[in-house]
Chains A and B, each alone.
Chain A
Amino acid sequence: MHGIERSSGGLSRGGGRIVAGALLRVEKIDVFYHDFHALWEVSIAVEEGLVVSIIGANGAGKSTLLNTIAGVLKPSTGVIEFFGKRMNGLMPYQTVSEGISMVPEGRRMFPRLTVLENLEVGCYIPRARKRKNEVLQRIYHLFPILGERKNQFSSTLSGGEQQMLAIGRALMCEPKLILFDEISLGLAPLVIKNIYQTVRQINSEGKITALLVEQDIQRSLKAAHKVYIMQSGRIRLQGIPKELSQEDIRKAYFGL
Protein backbone atom coordinates (compact mmCIF):
# COMPACT_ATOMS: atom_id res chain seq x y z
CA MET A 1 0.00 0.00 0.00
CA HIS A 2 2.96 2.22 0.61
CA GLY A 3 3.55 2.35 -3.12
CA ILE A 4 0.27 4.05 -3.87
CA GLU A 5 0.76 6.86 -1.40
CA ARG A 6 4.14 7.54 -2.86
CA SER A 7 3.02 7.61 -6.44
CA SER A 8 -0.46 9.08 -6.28
CA GLY A 9 0.81 12.64 -6.23
CA GLY A 10 2.61 12.15 -9.49
CA LEU A 11 -0.36 10.94 -11.47
CA SER A 12 -1.92 13.28 -13.89
CA ARG A 13 -4.74 12.90 -16.31
CA GLY A 14 -4.18 12.55 -20.03
CA GLY A 15 -0.59 13.71 -20.04
CA GLY A 16 2.40 11.43 -20.24
CA ARG A 17 4.17 12.53 -17.07
CA ILE A 18 6.66 10.05 -15.85
CA VAL A 19 6.98 9.33 -12.19
CA ALA A 20 10.50 9.19 -10.91
CA GLY A 21 11.61 5.88 -9.50
CA ALA A 22 9.28 3.74 -11.57
CA LEU A 23 10.20 0.06 -11.93
CA LEU A 24 9.16 0.08 -15.56
CA ARG A 25 9.22 3.21 -17.62
CA VAL A 26 7.85 3.33 -21.14
CA GLU A 27 8.40 6.65 -22.81
CA LYS A 28 6.83 7.77 -26.06
CA ILE A 29 7.09 4.54 -27.96
CA ASP A 30 5.73 4.03 -31.44
CA VAL A 31 5.18 0.53 -32.73
CA PHE A 32 4.44 -0.57 -36.27
CA TYR A 33 3.40 -3.83 -37.85
CA HIS A 34 5.00 -3.13 -41.23
CA ASP A 35 3.28 0.20 -41.90
CA PHE A 36 0.35 -0.39 -39.58
CA HIS A 37 0.84 2.22 -36.88
CA ALA A 38 -0.25 0.30 -33.79
CA LEU A 39 1.06 2.45 -30.92
CA TRP A 40 1.32 6.24 -31.03
CA GLU A 41 3.68 7.88 -28.54
CA VAL A 42 2.61 5.68 -25.68
CA SER A 43 4.07 6.42 -22.25
CA ILE A 44 3.38 4.56 -19.04
CA ALA A 45 5.09 4.13 -15.70
CA VAL A 46 4.75 1.17 -13.39
CA GLU A 47 5.89 1.69 -9.83
CA GLU A 48 7.26 -1.16 -7.78
CA GLY A 49 4.68 -3.11 -5.84
CA LEU A 50 1.64 -1.89 -7.73
CA VAL A 51 -0.96 -3.55 -9.88
CA VAL A 52 -1.29 -1.37 -12.95
CA SER A 53 -4.01 -2.03 -15.44
CA ILE A 54 -4.40 -1.11 -19.08
CA ILE A 55 -7.96 -1.01 -20.32
CA GLY A 56 -9.29 -0.71 -23.81
CA ALA A 57 -11.52 -2.26 -26.43
CA ASN A 58 -9.95 -4.74 -28.79
CA GLY A 59 -7.69 -3.18 -31.35
CA ALA A 60 -6.81 -0.44 -28.88
CA GLY A 61 -3.21 -1.60 -28.71
CA LYS A 62 -3.07 -3.06 -25.20
CA SER A 63 -1.61 -6.39 -26.20
CA THR A 64 0.77 -4.66 -28.57
CA LEU A 65 2.06 -2.64 -25.62
CA LEU A 66 2.59 -5.74 -23.47
CA ASN A 67 4.27 -7.59 -26.29
CA THR A 68 6.59 -4.64 -26.85
CA ILE A 69 7.57 -4.59 -23.19
CA ALA A 70 8.21 -8.34 -23.31
CA GLY A 71 10.45 -7.89 -26.37
CA VAL A 72 8.22 -9.72 -28.85
CA LEU A 73 7.75 -6.48 -30.79
CA LYS A 74 10.30 -3.70 -31.23
CA PRO A 75 9.43 -0.03 -30.82
CA SER A 76 10.55 2.17 -33.69
CA THR A 77 11.01 5.18 -31.42
CA GLY A 78 10.95 5.79 -27.71
CA VAL A 79 12.48 4.16 -24.67
CA ILE A 80 11.63 1.23 -22.45
CA GLU A 81 13.50 1.10 -19.17
CA PHE A 82 13.33 -1.55 -16.50
CA PHE A 83 15.20 -0.96 -13.23
CA GLY A 84 16.78 1.96 -15.08
CA LYS A 85 18.18 -0.36 -17.71
CA ARG A 86 17.29 0.16 -21.35
CA MET A 87 15.27 -2.77 -22.67
CA ASN A 88 14.67 -1.77 -26.30
CA GLY A 89 15.87 -4.37 -28.71
CA LEU A 90 16.11 -7.22 -26.23
CA MET A 91 14.63 -10.49 -27.44
CA PRO A 92 11.82 -11.99 -25.37
CA TYR A 93 14.10 -14.69 -24.01
CA GLN A 94 16.42 -11.96 -22.75
CA THR A 95 13.75 -9.92 -20.99
CA VAL A 96 12.90 -13.02 -18.95
CA SER A 97 16.41 -13.05 -17.53
CA GLU A 98 16.00 -9.38 -16.65
CA GLY A 99 12.99 -10.26 -14.51
CA ILE A 100 9.98 -9.68 -16.75
CA SER A 101 7.62 -12.58 -17.22
CA MET A 102 4.47 -12.72 -19.31
CA VAL A 103 1.23 -14.66 -19.15
CA PRO A 104 0.31 -14.49 -22.82
CA GLU A 105 -3.15 -14.04 -24.25
CA GLY A 106 -4.85 -17.35 -24.93
CA ARG A 107 -2.67 -19.03 -22.27
CA ARG A 108 -0.39 -20.69 -24.82
CA MET A 109 0.18 -23.96 -22.99
CA PHE A 110 2.65 -26.49 -24.28
CA PRO A 111 -0.08 -29.05 -24.95
CA ARG A 112 2.17 -32.07 -25.39
CA LEU A 113 3.99 -31.41 -22.13
CA THR A 114 2.61 -32.43 -18.76
CA VAL A 115 1.57 -29.85 -16.17
CA LEU A 116 4.80 -30.37 -14.27
CA GLU A 117 6.88 -30.15 -17.45
CA ASN A 118 5.16 -26.90 -18.38
CA LEU A 119 6.17 -25.52 -15.00
CA GLU A 120 9.71 -26.82 -15.38
CA VAL A 121 10.07 -25.11 -18.72
CA GLY A 122 9.01 -21.95 -16.88
CA CYS A 123 12.25 -22.07 -14.89
CA TYR A 124 14.47 -22.77 -17.88
CA ILE A 125 16.76 -19.81 -17.21
CA PRO A 126 19.76 -20.89 -15.08
CA ARG A 127 19.03 -18.51 -12.19
CA ALA A 128 15.58 -20.02 -11.72
CA ARG A 129 16.58 -23.67 -12.06
CA LYS A 130 18.43 -23.66 -8.78
CA ARG A 131 15.35 -22.69 -6.84
CA LYS A 132 12.96 -24.90 -8.76
CA ASN A 133 11.68 -27.08 -5.92
CA GLU A 134 11.07 -24.21 -3.56
CA VAL A 135 9.14 -22.15 -6.11
CA LEU A 136 7.25 -25.22 -7.26
CA GLN A 137 5.97 -25.82 -3.74
CA ARG A 138 4.78 -22.23 -3.54
CA ILE A 139 2.91 -22.56 -6.82
CA TYR A 140 1.28 -25.81 -5.73
CA HIS A 141 0.23 -23.97 -2.59
CA LEU A 142 -1.22 -21.15 -4.66
CA PHE A 143 -2.94 -23.52 -7.11
CA PRO A 144 -3.42 -26.89 -5.40
CA ILE A 145 -5.12 -28.27 -8.50
CA LEU A 146 -1.85 -28.05 -10.43
CA GLY A 147 -0.19 -30.29 -7.85
CA GLU A 148 -2.99 -32.82 -8.16
CA ARG A 149 -2.74 -32.89 -11.93
CA LYS A 150 0.98 -32.51 -12.35
CA ASN A 151 1.38 -35.62 -14.48
CA GLN A 152 -1.48 -34.90 -16.86
CA PHE A 153 -0.95 -33.41 -20.27
CA SER A 154 -1.74 -29.72 -20.08
CA SER A 155 -4.15 -30.06 -22.99
CA THR A 156 -6.47 -32.10 -20.74
CA LEU A 157 -6.95 -29.21 -18.29
CA SER A 158 -10.06 -27.01 -18.27
CA GLY A 159 -9.79 -23.39 -19.39
CA GLY A 160 -9.53 -22.06 -15.86
CA GLU A 161 -6.94 -24.64 -14.88
CA GLN A 162 -4.92 -23.80 -17.97
CA GLN A 163 -4.99 -20.15 -16.97
CA MET A 164 -3.69 -21.11 -13.54
CA LEU A 165 -0.96 -23.14 -15.16
CA ALA A 166 -0.05 -20.22 -17.40
CA ILE A 167 0.25 -17.98 -14.37
CA GLY A 168 2.18 -20.61 -12.43
CA ARG A 169 4.52 -21.12 -15.35
CA ALA A 170 5.21 -17.40 -15.56
CA LEU A 171 5.97 -17.30 -11.82
CA MET A 172 8.52 -20.13 -12.00
CA CYS A 173 11.31 -17.77 -13.02
CA GLU A 174 10.60 -15.53 -9.99
CA PRO A 175 9.98 -12.36 -11.95
CA LYS A 176 10.08 -8.83 -10.61
CA LEU A 177 7.34 -7.77 -13.00
CA ILE A 178 4.63 -9.98 -14.39
CA LEU A 179 2.57 -9.07 -17.44
CA PHE A 180 -0.96 -10.48 -17.68
CA ASP A 181 -2.57 -10.39 -21.12
CA GLU A 182 -6.37 -10.81 -21.08
CA ILE A 183 -6.42 -13.45 -18.39
CA SER A 184 -10.22 -13.47 -18.11
CA LEU A 185 -10.90 -14.10 -21.79
CA GLY A 186 -13.24 -17.02 -22.35
CA LEU A 187 -13.54 -18.00 -18.69
CA ALA A 188 -16.63 -18.37 -16.50
CA PRO A 189 -17.33 -15.47 -14.08
CA LEU A 190 -16.59 -17.52 -10.99
CA VAL A 191 -13.28 -18.67 -12.40
CA ILE A 192 -12.39 -15.09 -13.31
CA LYS A 193 -13.05 -14.03 -9.76
CA ASN A 194 -10.70 -16.69 -8.44
CA ILE A 195 -8.00 -15.77 -10.91
CA TYR A 196 -8.17 -12.14 -9.93
CA GLN A 197 -7.94 -13.05 -6.28
CA THR A 198 -4.73 -14.88 -7.05
CA VAL A 199 -3.40 -11.91 -8.95
CA ARG A 200 -3.89 -9.76 -5.86
CA GLN A 201 -2.31 -12.47 -3.73
CA ILE A 202 0.71 -12.70 -6.00
CA ASN A 203 1.07 -8.95 -5.81
CA SER A 204 0.66 -8.49 -2.07
CA GLU A 205 2.24 -11.68 -0.72
CA GLY A 206 4.70 -12.38 -3.47
CA LYS A 207 5.75 -8.74 -3.78
CA ILE A 208 5.56 -8.97 -7.55
CA THR A 209 4.60 -5.91 -9.53
CA ALA A 210 1.87 -6.62 -12.04
CA LEU A 211 0.86 -4.97 -15.29
CA LEU A 212 -2.36 -6.29 -16.67
CA VAL A 213 -4.33 -5.81 -19.80
CA GLU A 214 -8.05 -6.25 -19.61
CA GLN A 215 -11.14 -5.58 -21.64
CA ASP A 216 -13.50 -5.68 -18.71
CA ILE A 217 -13.40 -2.22 -17.19
CA GLN A 218 -15.04 -2.92 -13.84
CA ARG A 219 -12.80 -5.90 -13.14
CA SER A 220 -9.76 -3.81 -13.94
CA LEU A 221 -10.74 -0.82 -11.89
CA LYS A 222 -11.27 -3.07 -8.92
CA ALA A 223 -8.00 -4.90 -9.20
CA ALA A 224 -5.66 -2.06 -10.04
CA HIS A 225 -3.91 0.66 -8.09
CA LYS A 226 -3.58 2.66 -11.25
CA VAL A 227 -5.16 2.42 -14.70
CA TYR A 228 -4.44 3.57 -18.20
CA ILE A 229 -7.19 3.64 -20.80
CA MET A 230 -6.17 3.09 -24.39
CA GLN A 231 -8.04 3.69 -27.59
CA SER A 232 -6.81 3.51 -31.19
CA GLY A 233 -3.22 2.92 -30.11
CA ARG A 234 -3.04 5.93 -27.81
CA ILE A 235 -3.30 6.50 -24.07
CA ARG A 236 -6.53 8.45 -23.63
CA LEU A 237 -6.81 8.60 -19.86
CA GLN A 238 -4.86 7.61 -16.79
CA GLY A 239 -5.31 7.81 -13.05
CA ILE A 240 -6.29 6.20 -9.81
CA PRO A 241 -9.48 4.16 -10.21
CA LYS A 242 -11.41 6.00 -7.49
CA GLU A 243 -10.66 9.39 -8.97
CA LEU A 244 -11.91 8.66 -12.47
CA SER A 245 -15.54 9.31 -13.34
CA GLN A 246 -17.61 6.69 -15.13
CA GLU A 247 -18.40 9.16 -17.88
CA ASP A 248 -14.76 10.01 -18.56
CA ILE A 249 -13.88 6.34 -18.65
CA ARG A 250 -16.70 5.57 -21.05
CA LYS A 251 -15.68 8.37 -23.37
CA ALA A 252 -12.02 7.42 -23.37
CA TYR A 253 -12.87 3.77 -23.90
CA PHE A 254 -15.17 4.29 -26.87
CA GLY A 255 -13.28 7.24 -28.28
CA LEU A 256 -16.36 9.42 -28.23
Chain B
Amino acid sequence: MLSFLAELKGPIVNGLLLGGLYGIIGIGMSMIFGIVRLVNLAHGDLVILASYLSLVTMVYFHTSPLITLILIIPAMCVIGFFLQYYLLNRVLAKGMNPPLLVAFGLSIILQNILLLVFTPDARALVTSISVKTIPVGGFLNLPVVYLVDFIGSITTIVLLSRFFSRTYLGKAIRAASDDEGAAQLMGINTKTIYAIAMALASGTAAVAGVLVGMTFTFYPHTGPEYLIIAFGVVIVGGLGSLLGTFFGGLILGLAQLLGAHFLGPGFQLLSGYIILLIVLTFKPTGLFAKG
Protein backbone atom coordinates (compact mmCIF):
# COMPACT_ATOMS: atom_id res chain seq x y z
CA MET B 1 0.00 0.00 0.00
CA LEU B 2 2.70 2.45 1.01
CA SER B 3 4.81 1.61 -1.98
CA PHE B 4 1.77 2.11 -4.14
CA LEU B 5 1.39 5.63 -2.79
CA ALA B 6 5.08 6.31 -3.09
CA GLU B 7 4.85 5.31 -6.70
CA LEU B 8 2.09 7.85 -7.18
CA LYS B 9 4.12 10.71 -5.76
CA GLY B 10 5.92 11.24 -9.04
CA PRO B 11 2.83 11.61 -11.23
CA ILE B 12 1.07 13.71 -8.58
CA VAL B 13 3.87 16.21 -8.14
CA ASN B 14 4.61 16.36 -11.84
CA GLY B 15 0.91 16.56 -12.62
CA LEU B 16 0.45 19.53 -10.31
CA LEU B 17 3.43 21.33 -11.78
CA LEU B 18 2.27 20.61 -15.32
CA GLY B 19 -1.16 21.80 -14.19
CA GLY B 20 0.39 25.16 -13.38
CA LEU B 21 1.48 25.43 -16.99
CA TYR B 22 -2.01 24.44 -18.14
CA GLY B 23 -3.41 27.14 -15.90
CA ILE B 24 -1.42 29.84 -17.68
CA ILE B 25 -2.43 28.38 -21.05
CA GLY B 26 -6.09 28.51 -20.04
CA ILE B 27 -6.13 31.87 -18.33
CA GLY B 28 -6.23 33.97 -21.49
CA MET B 29 -8.99 31.88 -22.99
CA SER B 30 -10.94 32.11 -19.75
CA MET B 31 -10.60 35.91 -19.66
CA ILE B 32 -11.86 36.32 -23.20
CA PHE B 33 -14.67 33.85 -22.69
CA GLY B 34 -15.72 35.62 -19.50
CA ILE B 35 -15.26 39.22 -20.61
CA VAL B 36 -15.89 39.30 -24.34
CA ARG B 37 -18.08 36.14 -24.38
CA LEU B 38 -16.01 34.84 -27.24
CA VAL B 39 -14.59 31.36 -27.50
CA ASN B 40 -11.26 32.22 -28.99
CA LEU B 41 -10.50 29.17 -31.07
CA ALA B 42 -7.21 30.81 -32.04
CA HIS B 43 -5.91 30.95 -28.47
CA GLY B 44 -3.78 27.84 -28.84
CA ASP B 45 -2.25 29.28 -31.98
CA LEU B 46 -1.50 32.57 -30.23
CA VAL B 47 0.41 30.54 -27.63
CA ILE B 48 2.41 28.79 -30.34
CA LEU B 49 2.92 32.07 -32.20
CA ALA B 50 4.52 33.40 -29.03
CA SER B 51 6.74 30.31 -28.88
CA TYR B 52 8.00 31.02 -32.38
CA LEU B 53 8.43 34.74 -31.73
CA SER B 54 10.47 33.85 -28.68
CA LEU B 55 12.54 31.43 -30.73
CA VAL B 56 13.38 34.15 -33.24
CA THR B 57 14.20 36.70 -30.57
CA MET B 58 16.25 34.20 -28.63
CA VAL B 59 18.34 33.27 -31.63
CA TYR B 60 18.73 36.87 -32.75
CA PHE B 61 19.86 38.23 -29.39
CA HIS B 62 21.54 35.02 -28.16
CA THR B 63 19.60 35.20 -24.96
CA SER B 64 17.46 33.01 -22.75
CA PRO B 65 13.79 32.50 -23.61
CA LEU B 66 12.65 34.01 -20.33
CA ILE B 67 14.47 37.23 -21.20
CA THR B 68 12.69 37.38 -24.56
CA LEU B 69 9.44 37.91 -22.64
CA ILE B 70 10.45 41.57 -22.33
CA LEU B 71 9.79 41.87 -26.06
CA ILE B 72 7.28 39.08 -26.63
CA ILE B 73 4.70 40.21 -24.09
CA PRO B 74 4.30 43.72 -25.55
CA ALA B 75 4.35 42.33 -29.08
CA MET B 76 1.59 39.84 -28.34
CA CYS B 77 -0.43 42.51 -26.53
CA VAL B 78 -0.33 44.70 -29.61
CA ILE B 79 -1.33 41.80 -31.87
CA GLY B 80 -4.19 40.90 -29.55
CA PHE B 81 -5.41 44.49 -29.33
CA PHE B 82 -5.55 44.93 -33.09
CA LEU B 83 -7.16 41.54 -33.70
CA GLN B 84 -9.95 42.39 -31.31
CA TYR B 85 -10.37 46.03 -32.23
CA TYR B 86 -10.38 45.72 -35.98
CA LEU B 87 -11.60 42.18 -36.55
CA LEU B 88 -13.40 40.41 -33.72
CA ASN B 89 -15.31 43.43 -32.40
CA ARG B 90 -16.90 43.75 -35.81
CA VAL B 91 -18.52 40.33 -35.68
CA LEU B 92 -19.48 40.23 -31.99
CA ALA B 93 -22.89 41.75 -32.64
CA LYS B 94 -23.72 39.17 -35.30
CA GLY B 95 -24.61 36.42 -32.85
CA MET B 96 -22.79 33.53 -31.28
CA ASN B 97 -21.57 31.65 -34.34
CA PRO B 98 -19.85 34.25 -36.56
CA PRO B 99 -17.24 35.22 -33.92
CA LEU B 100 -16.59 31.52 -33.30
CA LEU B 101 -16.05 30.90 -37.00
CA VAL B 102 -13.86 33.99 -37.46
CA ALA B 103 -11.67 32.82 -34.59
CA PHE B 104 -11.55 29.39 -36.21
CA GLY B 105 -10.45 30.95 -39.49
CA LEU B 106 -7.87 32.99 -37.63
CA SER B 107 -6.52 29.84 -36.08
CA ILE B 108 -6.03 28.20 -39.47
CA ILE B 109 -4.44 31.36 -40.89
CA LEU B 110 -1.96 31.57 -38.02
CA GLN B 111 -1.05 27.90 -38.35
CA ASN B 112 -0.37 28.21 -42.03
CA ILE B 113 1.64 31.40 -41.70
CA LEU B 114 3.81 29.65 -39.12
CA LEU B 115 4.09 26.67 -41.43
CA LEU B 116 5.19 28.87 -44.34
CA VAL B 117 7.73 30.79 -42.32
CA PHE B 118 9.10 28.11 -40.04
CA THR B 119 8.55 24.84 -41.96
CA PRO B 120 6.89 21.86 -40.28
CA ASP B 121 10.01 20.94 -38.29
CA ALA B 122 9.82 20.47 -34.55
CA ARG B 123 11.29 23.33 -32.53
CA ALA B 124 12.07 23.90 -28.89
CA LEU B 125 13.35 26.76 -26.76
CA VAL B 126 16.40 24.94 -25.49
CA THR B 127 18.21 26.40 -22.51
CA SER B 128 20.65 25.24 -19.91
CA ILE B 129 17.81 24.31 -17.57
CA SER B 130 15.97 22.22 -20.14
CA VAL B 131 17.41 18.93 -19.00
CA LYS B 132 18.21 19.69 -15.37
CA THR B 133 16.34 17.97 -12.60
CA ILE B 134 16.24 18.41 -8.86
CA PRO B 135 16.23 15.25 -6.79
CA VAL B 136 13.54 15.28 -4.15
CA GLY B 137 13.46 12.81 -1.26
CA GLY B 138 15.81 10.49 -3.03
CA PHE B 139 13.18 8.82 -5.24
CA LEU B 140 11.86 11.68 -7.33
CA ASN B 141 13.55 13.82 -9.93
CA LEU B 142 11.75 17.07 -10.59
CA PRO B 143 12.42 18.66 -13.97
CA VAL B 144 13.54 22.24 -13.35
CA VAL B 145 11.47 23.51 -16.27
CA TYR B 146 8.30 22.24 -14.63
CA LEU B 147 9.20 24.27 -11.57
CA VAL B 148 9.84 27.34 -13.71
CA ASP B 149 6.49 26.80 -15.41
CA PHE B 150 4.68 26.62 -12.12
CA ILE B 151 6.35 29.72 -10.72
CA GLY B 152 5.83 31.64 -13.96
CA SER B 153 2.19 30.70 -13.97
CA ILE B 154 1.57 31.71 -10.37
CA THR B 155 3.43 34.98 -10.83
CA THR B 156 1.34 35.90 -13.87
CA ILE B 157 -1.89 35.04 -12.13
CA VAL B 158 -1.01 37.07 -9.04
CA LEU B 159 -0.05 40.07 -11.17
CA LEU B 160 -3.26 39.79 -13.18
CA SER B 161 -5.45 39.53 -10.13
CA ARG B 162 -3.78 42.60 -8.65
CA PHE B 163 -4.41 44.46 -11.88
CA PHE B 164 -8.07 43.47 -11.87
CA SER B 165 -8.67 44.45 -8.26
CA ARG B 166 -6.54 47.58 -7.94
CA THR B 167 -6.74 49.61 -11.13
CA TYR B 168 -9.57 51.57 -12.69
CA LEU B 169 -8.98 49.76 -15.95
CA GLY B 170 -9.13 46.38 -14.25
CA LYS B 171 -12.37 47.25 -12.52
CA ALA B 172 -13.80 48.63 -15.74
CA ILE B 173 -12.98 45.35 -17.48
CA ARG B 174 -14.73 43.39 -14.76
CA ALA B 175 -17.69 45.76 -14.90
CA ALA B 176 -17.97 45.34 -18.67
CA SER B 177 -17.84 41.59 -18.20
CA ASP B 178 -20.71 41.74 -15.67
CA ASP B 179 -22.97 44.02 -17.69
CA GLU B 180 -21.83 45.63 -20.92
CA GLY B 181 -24.76 48.05 -21.17
CA ALA B 182 -24.47 49.30 -17.62
CA ALA B 183 -20.71 49.71 -18.05
CA GLN B 184 -21.30 51.98 -21.03
CA LEU B 185 -23.57 54.09 -18.86
CA MET B 186 -20.60 54.59 -16.54
CA GLY B 187 -18.65 56.18 -19.38
CA ILE B 188 -16.76 53.03 -20.32
CA ASN B 189 -16.09 52.44 -24.00
CA THR B 190 -16.61 48.71 -23.97
CA LYS B 191 -15.25 48.14 -27.46
CA THR B 192 -11.88 49.49 -26.36
CA ILE B 193 -12.17 47.55 -23.12
CA TYR B 194 -12.63 44.35 -25.10
CA ALA B 195 -9.54 45.12 -27.15
CA ILE B 196 -7.56 45.76 -23.97
CA ALA B 197 -8.83 42.49 -22.52
CA MET B 198 -7.68 40.67 -25.63
CA ALA B 199 -4.33 42.42 -25.37
CA LEU B 200 -3.96 41.14 -21.82
CA ALA B 201 -5.07 37.65 -22.80
CA SER B 202 -2.50 37.66 -25.58
CA GLY B 203 0.06 38.80 -23.05
CA THR B 204 -0.67 35.71 -20.98
CA ALA B 205 -0.45 33.69 -24.18
CA ALA B 206 3.05 35.12 -24.59
CA VAL B 207 4.08 33.83 -21.17
CA ALA B 208 2.37 30.51 -21.88
CA GLY B 209 4.08 30.26 -25.27
CA VAL B 210 7.55 30.79 -23.84
CA LEU B 211 6.95 28.29 -21.04
CA VAL B 212 5.45 25.74 -23.42
CA GLY B 213 8.39 26.20 -25.76
CA MET B 214 10.84 25.59 -22.94
CA THR B 215 8.97 22.49 -21.78
CA PHE B 216 7.90 20.72 -24.96
CA THR B 217 8.71 20.69 -28.64
CA PHE B 218 6.29 22.57 -30.84
CA TYR B 219 5.22 22.63 -34.47
CA PRO B 220 3.07 25.09 -36.43
CA HIS B 221 0.12 22.73 -35.92
CA THR B 222 0.47 22.29 -32.16
CA GLY B 223 -1.94 25.16 -31.44
CA PRO B 224 -5.21 23.18 -31.44
CA GLU B 225 -3.77 20.73 -28.91
CA TYR B 226 -3.27 23.57 -26.47
CA LEU B 227 -6.61 25.04 -27.42
CA ILE B 228 -8.36 21.94 -26.18
CA ILE B 229 -6.25 22.00 -23.03
CA ALA B 230 -7.13 25.67 -22.55
CA PHE B 231 -10.79 24.91 -23.09
CA GLY B 232 -10.55 22.03 -20.64
CA VAL B 233 -9.03 24.37 -18.06
CA VAL B 234 -11.81 26.90 -18.63
CA ILE B 235 -14.56 24.30 -18.42
CA VAL B 236 -13.18 22.49 -15.41
CA GLY B 237 -12.22 25.69 -13.62
CA GLY B 238 -15.31 27.68 -14.50
CA LEU B 239 -15.54 31.23 -15.73
CA GLY B 240 -14.75 34.48 -14.10
CA SER B 241 -12.27 33.51 -11.45
CA LEU B 242 -8.52 33.47 -11.96
CA LEU B 243 -8.07 31.08 -9.08
CA GLY B 244 -10.71 28.72 -10.47
CA THR B 245 -8.88 28.65 -13.77
CA PHE B 246 -5.65 27.85 -11.99
CA PHE B 247 -7.31 24.97 -10.14
CA GLY B 248 -8.80 23.80 -13.43
CA GLY B 249 -5.25 23.60 -14.75
CA LEU B 250 -4.09 21.60 -11.75
CA ILE B 251 -6.95 19.11 -12.06
CA LEU B 252 -6.31 18.64 -15.74
CA GLY B 253 -2.57 18.22 -15.25
CA LEU B 254 -3.12 15.69 -12.47
CA ALA B 255 -5.70 13.78 -14.50
CA GLN B 256 -3.34 13.54 -17.44
CA LEU B 257 -0.33 12.26 -15.55
CA LEU B 258 -2.34 9.87 -13.42
CA GLY B 259 -4.05 8.61 -16.57
CA ALA B 260 -0.65 8.11 -18.19
CA HIS B 261 0.59 6.36 -15.06
CA PHE B 262 -2.22 3.83 -14.96
CA LEU B 263 -3.07 3.34 -18.63
CA GLY B 264 0.20 4.03 -20.36
CA PRO B 265 1.76 7.13 -21.87
CA GLY B 266 -0.51 7.01 -24.91
CA PHE B 267 -3.44 7.87 -22.69
CA GLN B 268 -2.08 11.05 -21.14
CA LEU B 269 -4.14 13.34 -23.38
CA LEU B 270 -7.09 10.97 -23.37
CA SER B 271 -7.73 11.19 -19.63
CA GLY B 272 -7.77 14.99 -19.93
CA TYR B 273 -10.34 14.79 -22.73
CA ILE B 274 -12.53 12.40 -20.80
CA ILE B 275 -12.56 14.73 -17.78
CA LEU B 276 -13.47 17.59 -20.12
CA LEU B 277 -16.33 15.63 -21.70
CA ILE B 278 -17.69 14.56 -18.33
CA VAL B 279 -17.69 18.12 -16.99
CA LEU B 280 -19.17 19.42 -20.27
CA THR B 281 -21.98 16.91 -19.96
CA PHE B 282 -22.90 17.40 -16.35
CA LYS B 283 -21.86 20.94 -15.52
CA PRO B 284 -21.03 22.92 -18.63
CA THR B 285 -20.60 26.09 -16.60
CA GLY B 286 -17.59 24.61 -14.83
CA LEU B 287 -16.87 22.95 -11.51
CA PHE B 288 -15.92 26.13 -9.70
CA ALA B 289 -18.59 28.38 -11.16
CA LYS B 290 -21.09 29.83 -8.75
CA GLY B 291 -24.72 28.87 -9.11
Contact = CB atoms under 8 A, between A and B. Distances in A.
Direct A–B contact in the complex, CB atoms closer than 8 angstroms? yes
Interface of A: 70, 72, 91-93, 96-97, 101-102, 104, 108-113, 117-118, 120-122, 124-125, 128-129, 169-170, 173
B175 A121 contact: yes
B178 A113 contact: yes
Given A91-B189, A108-B179, A110-B178, A124 B184 contact: no
A118 B172 CA distance: 9
B174 A104 contact: no
A72 B174 contact: no
A70 B184 CA distance: 10
29 contacts: A72-B181, A72-B184, A72-B185, A92-B181, A92-B184, A93-B184, A93-B186, A93-B190, A96-B185, A97-B187, A102-B185, A108-B179, A108-B181, A108-B182, A109-B178, A111-B178, A112-B174, A112-B177, A112-B240, A113-B171, A113-B174, A113-B175, A113-B178, A117-B174, A120-B171, A121-B168, A121-B186, A124-B188, A129-B168
Nearest to A132: B168
Contacts of A125: 187
B78 interface: no
A113 B165 CA distance: 9
A184 to B, nearest CB: 19
A170 B182 CA distance: 10
Interface residues of B, number: 19
Nearest to B190: A93
B183 interface: yes
B184 A91 contact: yes
A123 to B, nearest CB: 8
Contacts of A91: 184, 189
B246 to A, nearest CB: 17
B93 to A, nearest CB: 14
B178 A173 contact: no
A217 to B, nearest CB: 26
A93 B188 contact: yes
Contacts of B172: 121, 124
Contacts of B174: 110, 112-113, 117
